[in-house]
Amino acid sequence: MTITRRPLREQIRDEVLTRLVRGDHPVGERINEGELADELGVSRTPLREALAGLAQEGVLELRPNRGFWLLPLTVDEVKETYPIIGALEAFALRQCDIQVLAESVPRLNELAQRMLDVDPLEAGRIDDQWHDELLKSCPNKRLLQLIKAQKTVVHRYEFAYFTSRKRIMRAETEHRLIAKAILERDMDRAAGELVGNWTVDPGVLREVFG
């Protein structure tokens, strides 16, 4: 038996992030450390470590002497963050092993298909898996780590974002086009499509932000 002894701060991080993503906490509001610590049944020390980490990633803001605040979801944040991820992933894709990529295509298409069959929430998770599978042969591990951190920020949006069936279908289409480009060994096109995959269309932005 492998007894789990994960540091408390990590467990807290996961739980807090889940709550924030789930929308339990009012957006744009202060987080009361004492209250939250009590709820979670832990002390403020590891909680603060977890919150500080999320602040550094850009999910929260830490105002001196005012505490942690859940940053509001803004159009700007979407407009800024998604393209960054697009650029990073395209860059990562170019460092991937083309042979491994080609071998991944069946799995990629399988995942693309599955996105259509599940509920919107699960779709976001599968979308993640798709991108992980795509970039798994990128030797620049630091780059992959960076991409992962950026995605944490946008995960908050996927609730609003992937609830649109249209959006899921668009993602599916794009995923298949990228897979096709890979099979044809056209990495320029694949990278271009990948950037496009991280481009939010204005219509959806209006839909989400009004």
- Rounded CA gap, 113 and 111, in Å? 5
β-pairing, 60-63 with 67-70?
Answer: antiparallel
Q: Which of 45, 9, 8, 51 is nearest to 30 (CA)?
A: 51
Restricted to residues 73-102, the positions that interact with its own copies (CB under 8 A) are 77, 80-81, 83-84, 87-88, 91
- Least Å distance between CB 85 and DNA? 29
Task: Choose from its own copies, DNA, none: what does 53 bind? Cβ within 5-8 Å by kind.
Answer: its own copies
DSSP single-letter state for residue 94: T
- Least Å distance between CB 87 and its own copies? 4
Q: Which of 41, 40, 58, 45 is nearest to 152 (CA)?
A: 58
- Rounded CA gap, 204 and 80, in Å? 15
Restricted to residues 17-56, the positions that interact with its own copies (CB under 8 A) are 45, 48-49, 52-53, 56
Task: Choose from its own copies, DNA, none: what does 30 bind? Cβ within 5-8 Å by kind.
Answer: DNA
Verify binding: residue 26, DNA, rule CB under 7 A. Answer: no
Which residues in this chain contact DNA in the complex, by CB under 7 A?
A: 5, 7-9, 30-35, 42-46, 48-49, 62-68
